């Protein structure tokens, strides 16, 4: 199941429709997601994200950790570029608590800003002054 968002700037009329996720019949999307998850696991095993994360994954003998590499809406904190990227997270949920480790990404457009996953207030990439208005939201398959 995928989601779509349509944003519009009330000041400069910038608009953008964004589709995230994969449809039920999107085999290619799910294969890419699975490959991204395998690559994330491998980088963790190699120690790229530090000993704490590596040991956490090694101790998961009950396979309770979920590696999440689905697409989502991201915005750069520096240039305000708005894009669809793959998130990289480890998720663990029990009746007692929930834990999420989110691996930060750098903006592919300006190469200097950090990407924020689906921020509550999305600023206009064009005029950079006013938050965008969510015009439409829905699901697709």
Q: State pLDDT tens for residues 130-139.
A: 899 999 999 8
Number of domains the chain contains: 1
- Percentage of the chain beyond pLDDT 70 is 97
The pLDDT assigned to 98 comes to 81
Q: Determine contact, residues 77/106, Cβ cutoff 8 Å.
A: no
The pLDDT assigned to 63 comes to 85
Confidence band for 86, pLDDT divided at 50, 70 and 90? very high
Q: Which alpha helices (H) appear in the chain, and where do they start and end?
A: 27-45, 51-58
Residue 37: give the domain boundaries.
Answer: 2-140
pTM: 0.85
What's CA 9's distance to the chain center, in Å?
22
C-beta atoms surrounding 5 within 10 Å? 20
pLDDT digits (tens, 9 = 90+) for 21-55: 886 668 889 899 999 999 999 999 999 999 999 99
Distance CA 110, CA 123 (A): 16
Please tell me the number of Cα atoms within 13 Å of 131 on its side-chain side: 8
Please tell me the number of Cα atoms within 13 Å of 136 on its side-chain side: 11
């Amino acid at each position: 199941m995928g989601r779509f968002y349509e944003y519009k700037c009330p000041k400069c009329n910038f608009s953008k429709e964004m589709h995230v996720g994969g449809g039920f019949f999107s085999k290619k999307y799910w294969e890419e997601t699975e490959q991204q998850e395998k690559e994330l696991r491998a980088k963790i095993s190699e120690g790229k994200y530090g000993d704490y994360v590596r040991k956490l994954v090694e101790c998961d003998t009950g396979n309770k950790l979920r590696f999440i590499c689905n697409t989502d809406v991201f915005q750069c904190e520096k240039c305000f570029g708005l894009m669809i990227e793959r998130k990289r997270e480890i998720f663990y949920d029990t009746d007692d608590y929930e834990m999420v480790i989110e691996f930060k990404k750098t903006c592919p457009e300006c190469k200097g800003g950090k990407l924020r996953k689906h921020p509550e207030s999305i600023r206009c990439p064009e005029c950079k002054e006013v938050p965008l208005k969510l015009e439409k939201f829905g699901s697709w398959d």
